[in-house]
Chain A
Amino acid sequence: MKQGPHLLVMIALVAAATLFGRVLPTWTLSLATVAASNALIALGIVVLARTGNVSFGQGLFFAAGGYGVALIANAWGITDAVVQMLIGAVCGGLLGLVIGPLIARYSGIFFGMLTLALSMVFYGALVKSVALGGSDGFNVGRPSLFGMVFTDPREADFMLYAVSVVTTGFAGIAATILFRSELGLISLAVRENNLRVEYLGISANRIITINFVIAAVFAGASGAFALMAQRHIDPQFAYWTTSGEFVFVAVLAGYQSVAAVFVASMALELVRSFSNLYLPNTWQLVLGVFLLAVILFLPSGIGSLWIKQRRKRIEPAAAVPIAAREEIAQ
C-alpha cells in the first residue's frame, strides 16, 4: 500500500469525522460510538490477519479491557474517558503479552480454535465469579473528560463519540504506518510462508506475537469504550458470538483498506439497529442474510468498492486456495 494517503490527509479526515458528530442526531451518535469501538477491535483482527492468523477469541481481550477498566475505575474512582481507555489498552496488552508467545506457534484453524477456547474459558470463569456479578455483570458510573463532568446526555454522548473516533482514527493511522513498515511487510511474508521467513533469519513467531499484542491492545481499548458506552459490563463481552461479530466486521471490510473497517463497522451497526427496531423478532435472520449477501457479492470486502486491486497478494482470500492447491499437488 505504498500509494496510501498522506499522513496529514488522514489526520484531517479524523478531525472531520469528529466534528461531523456535532451535526449527527443523538441516536446515530451512540451508534457511531459503538461502530468506532468495534472498528478498533476489527482493525486489530486485520493487523493480525496479515500474518495469516484469524483470532476467534478477541472477546477475551475485549472483556479483559472492559473488566479491567470497570474494576480499576470502581476501586480508584477514575472516571476520565481517556485514562479509562488507556487502562483498557494496557489490560488487553498485558494479557496479550502472556498469551501471544504461547499461541504464536499455531496457525490456521487451530489458531482460531485455541483463541476461541481461551475466550470461552474466560467467559466460563466470569459467569461463575460471584464477586464480579456473575452472568448479570455490574454497572459503572458515567465517564468524564479532563475533569469536565457532562450532565447533559447529548454532550456526554458527543464526548464519548469524539474520544472513540479520535482513538480509533489514530489507531487506523498507526495501522497504515505499520502496514507500510518493515514489520508490516514481514507480516505479509509470514502469511505467505512462515518457514521461508524463518530461513531468512527472522523469527516468524516473534512477528506473530507482536501483531497479536497490537491486536490485544486495540481490543482492550475497544472493551473500555464498550464499557463506557453501555455503563454496564457482563460476561457476554467474552462470548464467542461477540468475537464472531468482530471477525465479521474484519471480513466485511476486507483486508485492503483501513477506512473500510470503519465503514463496515458502521454498516453492521446500522443493519443491526434498523432490523432490531423494525423486525425485533427476526433481526438475527436479517443479519445472517446480510452476512451471506456480503460474502457472496463482495468477496473482497467493502474496501473493494473503492479500491481497485493494487496487488493481488494483499488479499488472503485469493492467496489461501493457491496454498491449499499446492498442498494437494504434493
Chain B
Amino acid sequence: MNFFLTVVLDGLIQASWLFIVALGLTLVFGVLKILNIAHGSFYALGAYIAATAVTLVAAHSLPPSVGFAAMLVSVALIASAVGLLLERGLLKMFYGRDEVVLLLGTYAVFLILEDVTKLIWGVNPIYATQPYELFGTFEFAGLYYVGYDLVLLPISAAIGFLVWFGLNRTITGKIVLAVIHNEEMSVSMGVRVNRVYAASFAFGVLLAATAGALTAPKISMQPGLSSDVIILSFAIVVIGGLGSVQGAAVGALLVGVARAASVHLMPQAELFVIYLIMAGVLMFRPEGLFQRETARRI
C-alpha cells in the first residue's frame, strides 16, 4: 500500500510538469498543425533562463522567494518574445507546406537552439537550487517529500484549468477553437488567423518555458535536456490525442505514473515502458485516447 502511494505521488509530481509541457505542444499542434520538435528546446530555454535569474537574485542576497518570482517573470517575458519572433520571422514561411517539411523545419530550429543554449550557458551542468527549499518538507505516509514538488501539483492543475476555461468559456478561446476546427471558415468570418497563430505559438512556447522554469530548481541543466523532454512530451501528446487538452492531462498522468513505477520497479525499463504505452495506444486507438475521428476525403 505504501509502495503504491509512493508510486502514485511520484507519478503525480512527474505528471505535473510534463502536463504543462505537453499542453503547449498539443495547443500548437491544434492551432498551427505543427508537431513542434523544438518544443523541448523551449523547455530547456526556460530552465536555463530561470537558473540565470535565480543565480542573479541569490548573488544580490535576496530571499529565494524573490528568486522564484524573478525566474517566472523573466521566463514569461523572454519566452513570449522568442515565440512571437520565431512564428512571425520563420514559421509563417512554412505554412501550407507538407507536414513532413514542417516537422523538419522545427527540427532545424531544435538543432539551432541546442547550440545557442550551449553558446550562452556552456556545456557544464548548472544548478538553481535556492527556490527548492522554499516550501520546506512534508512527511506523508512515512516518507518525506519536498514541499516544492507538492506545490507543483496545484500550479499545474491551475494552469490546466485556466487553459480549459480560456478555451471553452471566453470569446478569445472560442475564436481559437474556431481556427482549430476550420481555419478557412474562420477567415471568412473575419477572424485574423495570423494573429491567432502567432499568439497560440507564443503561448505554447510560454507553457514549455514555464515548465522548464518550474523544474529548474529540481534538476541540473545540461545539454541533452531538450531532446529528453521532447521525447516524453511527444509520447504524452500522442497517447492523449494530438490537439486535445484533456488528452494531454491523461497522457501526462499515464506517463508520469508509468515512469515513477518503472523507476521503482525496473529502472532499466523507463524509456521503454513509455514508448510501449504509446505504441500500444496507437495500435488500438490511432487517433489517441481523446481525439474524435475526423472526416476524410473519399
Contacts of A193 in B (CB 8 A): 297-298
Is A131 interfacial (CB 8 A cutoff)? Answer: no
What is the predominant secondary structure among interface residues of chain B facing chain A?
helix
User: For the complex, what is the distance from the CA of A231 to the CA of B110, rounded to whole Å?
Assistant: 30
Given contacts A251-B104, A292-B108, contact A121 B276 (CB under 8 A): yes
Contact B107 A330 (CB under 8 A): no
Which A residues lie at the B interface, using CB under 8 A? 49, 54, 56, 102, 105-106, 108-110, 112-114, 116-118, 120-121, 123-125, 127-128, 193, 195-196, 240-241, 244, 247-248, 251, 281-285, 287-289, 291-292, 295-296, 299, 316-317, 320-321, 323, 325-330
Contact B105 A295 (CB under 8 A): yes
Minimal beta-carbon separation of A286 from chain B (angstroms):
8
Contacts of A295 in B (CB 8 A): 94, 97, 101, 104-105, 108
Contact A109 B271 (CB under 8 A): no
User: For the complex, what is the distance from the CA of A185 to the CA of B176, rounded to whole Å?
Assistant: 41
Interface range, B side: 35 or more
Which B residues lie at the A interface, using CB under 8 A? 35, 37, 90, 93-94, 96-101, 103-105, 107-112, 114-116, 118-119, 182-185, 227, 231, 234-235, 238, 242, 268-272, 275-276, 278-279, 282-283, 286-287, 294-298
Contact B108 A289 (CB under 8 A): yes
Contacts of B116 in A (CB 8 A): 285
User: For the complex, what is the distance from the CA of A296 to the CA of B101, rounded to whole Å?
Assistant: 10
Contacts of A281 in B (CB 8 A): 115, 118-119
User: For the complex, what is the distance from the CA of A49 to the CA of B101, rounded to whole Å?
Assistant: 13
Contacts of B297 in A (CB 8 A): 193, 323, 326-327, 330
Contacts of A118 in B (CB 8 A): 275, 279
User: For the complex, what is the distance from the CA of A285 to the CA of B118, rounded to whole Å?
Assistant: 10
Contact A117 B238 (CB under 8 A): yes
Contact A292 B282 (CB under 8 A): no
Minimal beta-carbon separation of A2 from chain B (angstroms):
25
Taking CB as reference atom, which chain A residue is nearest B90?
A: A292
Contact B112 A124 (CB under 8 A): no
Contacts of A110 in B (CB 8 A): 282, 286-287
Contact A327 B107 (CB under 8 A): no
Contact A124 B115 (CB under 8 A): no
Contact A120 B275 (CB under 8 A): yes
